[in-house]
Structure 1
Amino acid sequence: MNWAFTSENNLASTFATDINPFWQHSVTQGHFVGKDNITVRYSHCIPKSPRATIVICSGRIESYLKYKEFIYDLYQNGFAVFILDHRGQGLSDRMTSDPQHGYVAHFDDYVDDFVTFVETIVKPKHQGPLLLVCHSMGGAIGALTLLRMPKLFSKAVFASPMFGIKPSLPNWLANGLIRTGLAVNRMKKADSGYFFGQTPYIAFPFALNKLTHSKTRYALFRELYDEEQDIQLGGVTTEWLAAAHQAMNKIENSAGAITTPTLVLSADDDAIIDNKRQRLVAQRMPNATLEIVPRAYHELFTESDDIRERSLTRILDFLTES
């Protein structure tokens, strides 16, 4: 199949002439109330006679606003797209007194929201096969969703999934640091607090970024977060890290039960994810194909054109092959 994708060349003008007008005219934004009365924001777009419906499960700190280019590309290639902002980030409600905290009590809360979204918002509108596309933390949420509801999606894609994170500490050390951090928060009588070394939002210059090789896409990402300051998020809290460790251990121990046909794309130069553990988990999934993307940093959907086009072509070929 010949898929068409936007290019880094003149991407700022493509946003002005094509992507932003598409967003205004073709994308619907809404919200629902998730667990514990947290308002969860979402958006969706449906072309005429879509070939399938893709539900995106995004990564940590992300908002669906960051996915405008990717959503535009999927729509132009004939896919209906649904995406939510996870609780505690993006345009969704925060759960602690500091809106910059990367916080969640349990990853099951993310899964509860995601299942509610699919059952009540996506399913009444979806056309064609229901497909899951995950990035980073969204890969952990997606894997937990597939463990809970194995028949929910007909296929799944995990791009740089968070099945392990760097630095990959031994369990005893990670657990000891987490316990210490939680004890510090209790002593301070704080609802949560940053894990050691974590800070509020910092806009790193392109030269220090380990997310993408694309200077253009990185600049657009930082401009968006400067303009839409509500979506800014800082580092992780000790509570988030404790919940993430629990989730990743569950995924590793239960990977054999994830039976949905799955494509796992592992970014070979990922500085965020522990690829060794990630690939081990992928190899335990009975119906998963693991593919390593050479030279790629963490964010395959906003990488430089050569890496991004190769990744997106592989994803759409996999999702549409019978």
Structure 2
Amino acid sequence: MSWKFTTEQELATTFATTINPFWQSAVTRGHFTGKDNVEVHYAWCIPEKPIASVVISSGRIESYLKYKELIFDLYQNNFAVFILDHRGQGLSGRMTHDPQHGYVADFNDYIDDLVSFVQEIVKPLQQGPLRLLCHSMGGAIGALTLHREPDLFDKAVLASPMFGIKPALPNWLANGLIQIGLSFNRIRKQPSGYFFGQTSYIPFPYALNKLTHSRSRYALFRQLYDEERRIQLGGVTTEWLSAAHRAMNFIEKNAPRITTPCLVLSAQDDSIIDNKRQQKVVNAMPHSKLERIADAYHEVFTERDDIRNKALTMVCDFLADHPPAK
């Protein structure tokens, strides 16, 4: 026996006949109240004989609804799965006048939510060892959480972690642009506003996307966001970018203190993440291993089958401690 994953060829049929019915019958959804009374939504599912419990920390703009295929695959391979929508996105509460603002006051708010989720929701249901699975912005949140709570998870996977973002500007220039943007918002007497060049939600066609090589998975992603308009999110605000830069600088400075064993998946053709800075941070993390995923765009979990299967096999082997018997 080996790990079993869905395929692009059968995906449209599998979604209708298997994944959506699974979501209705096996997945429990709920919410709790986070800092400043922000509602944080979550979902979880537990197979009959779980080999580990996995908490997912997703990327910017994402909702747990976008992770239906991945959650199904993990469940089918006997992982219990727990996932939350970070504040300010997905089904969770917003904190500005515009629900499409990509906003957070400070990444510590994300960490507080994740820790509360684990302590209040996950731990009472946990079966097997507790592991963390992150993507992109969720990787930055995950790394910060591992730093603050080193005993919360005994392993973590960080896929395309946001330890640096493109364009990779010098700190003095990035900070200068952020300060100009913050000053502009103060002049307009608005608590938040899009950073220069950022706009509300735009559904880019597949030909212009730099997230995945999988046409079918990208189509499902866009269909979901067309149907569930409440999860649509626009570009980043100046406030989010300021918080992100503080978070990334903190991670780089404190990387040697992130001691949890980590598997880091670096997408070779990532046009969103600064892979050079990512490599620098991982080199400083004492118990981390970086695996470069050849030909991959940013989203390795929604890539075409050959790329995705390679990445997911590494993930499942790592999260389970050992591969299944052949």
Secondary structure in 1 aligned to 2:9? coil
1:87 lines up with 2:87 in the alignment: yes
State the match for 1:310 in structure 2: 310
Quote the residue 1:289 is aligned against: 289
> C-alpha separation between the residues in 2 aligned to 1:47 and 1:94?
32
Which residue does the alignment assign to 1:273?
A: 273
State the Cα distance separating 1:147 from its structure 2 match: 0.4
* Other-structure match for 1:120: 120
* 2:216 aligned residue: 216
Q: Post-superposition shift, 1:248? A: 0.1
The residue that corresponds to 2:50 in the other structure is: 50
Specify the code of the residue in structure 2 equivalent to 1:283.
Answer: N
Distance 1:115 1:260 in 2: 16
Deviations 1:202-253 (A, max 9, x none): 0000000000000000000000000000000000000000000000000000
> CA-to-partner distance for each residue in 1:166-200, whole Å, 9 max, x for gaps?
00000000000000000000000011000000000
**SS of the residue 1:104 aligns to:** coil
- Counterpart amino acid of residue 7 in structure 1: T
Structure 1: 4+ residue segments shifted above 4 A: none
Aligned residue pairs: how many?
322
**Residue aligning to 2:246:** 246
Of all paired residues, the percent bearing the same amino acid is 71
Deviation at 1:128, TM superposition (A): 0.1
Secondary structure of 1:6's partner? Answer: coil
Tell me how far apart the structure 2 counterparts of residues 168 and 126 of structure 1 sit (CA, whole Å): 39
**DSSP-derived class of the 1:10 partner:** helix
Q: Deviations over 1:55-77 (max 9, x none)?
A: 00000000000000000000000
Q: TM-score, normalising length from structure 1?
A: 0.99
- Give the equivalent residue in structure 1 for 2:163: 163
**Alignment partners' CA distance in 2, 1:79 and 1:320:** 8
Q: Deviations over 1:38-63 (max 9, x none)?
A: 00000000011211100000000000
How many Å separate the matches in 1 of 2:318 and 2:25?
Answer: 29
User: d(CA) in 2 for partners of 1:284 and 1:320?
Assistant: 25
**Alignment TM-score, normalising by the size of structure 2:** 0.98
Shift of 1:10: 2.6
Matched AA of 1:217: R
Q: Which residue of 1 aligns with 2:144?
A: 144
Name the residue aligned to 1:59. Answer: 59
Amino acid at match of 1:205: P
CA RMSD of aligned residues (A): 0.6
Q: How does 1:13-92 map to 2 (within 5 A)?
A: 13-92=13-92
